[in-house]
Structures are given as structure tokens and as C-alpha cells.
Amino acid sequence: NAGVTQTPKFQVLKTGQSMTLQCAQDMNHNSMYWYRQDPGMGLRLIYYSASEGTTDKGEVPNGYNVSRLNKREFSLRLESAAPSQTSVYFCASTRTVFDNQPQHFGDGTRLSIL
């Protein structure tokens, strides 16, 4: 019973490098989200996908792109990493954005950019 799976768990990048964070859920959920969590800031929404084929910006989208590959998978890409993007990234899913349901989270990707 995996739930939401994120890969990799840890990553170190140099400034300017690119990488893609992967997220997959096996709960047949329609909606998926990407957050970053920084000390003292709480969880901040980067992008979300209400349903397969749609994506929308959240609170802090600059420097990121997303792809909703299919119903299960939602990836986050950093095209040119910057030290300010050092953070813990969480992927979450819900059955649908329309019915006030709680989110289910993965265990995060810890990303350091030097």
C-alpha cells in the first residue's frame, strides 16, 4: 500500500544544473500538488493539477515547471537550479479538488543546491 511515492529522496545539485523530481500515486486520485517546505515558512504550493491534462500555478511557481504525465504521475522540474531552491519538496494528492478532502503526502525529496 504505497500511497504517494517520491524519487529521489535526497539530491545535491550545483547552481545552474537541472533535474526532475518524480511523484506517483496509486490511490486513483485525480488531483496532485507540489509543495516546498522551508523552516519557519510552512508548506507553500508551487503547482497543482486538478485533473489529468491540467496544471495551474500556486504561490511560488517561479523557477519551476511541471508535467502531469498521466493520472498517476506528476513531475516537478528545475531548469536552472538556484541556491534559493534548496528545500524539502513534497508531493500530495487528493481524490478531487472539488470535495474538500484531505491531502495524502509523500515522504519528500530533500534538495540541496550549492
Which residues contribute to the site for another protein (CB under 8 A)? 4, 31, 33, 40-45, 48, 50, 58-59, 90, 92, 97-98, 100-108
Locus of grid cell 493520472: 71
Complex with another protein: residue 19 or 45, whichever CB lies closer: 45
Angle at 95 between CA 53 and CA 10, to 5 degrees: 75
What is residue 95's three-state secondary structure? Answer: coil
* Shortest distance in whole angstroms from residue 63 CB to another protein: 19
Smallest distance, Å, CB 32 to another protein?
A: 12
Nearer to another protein (CB atom), residue 85 or residue 93: 93
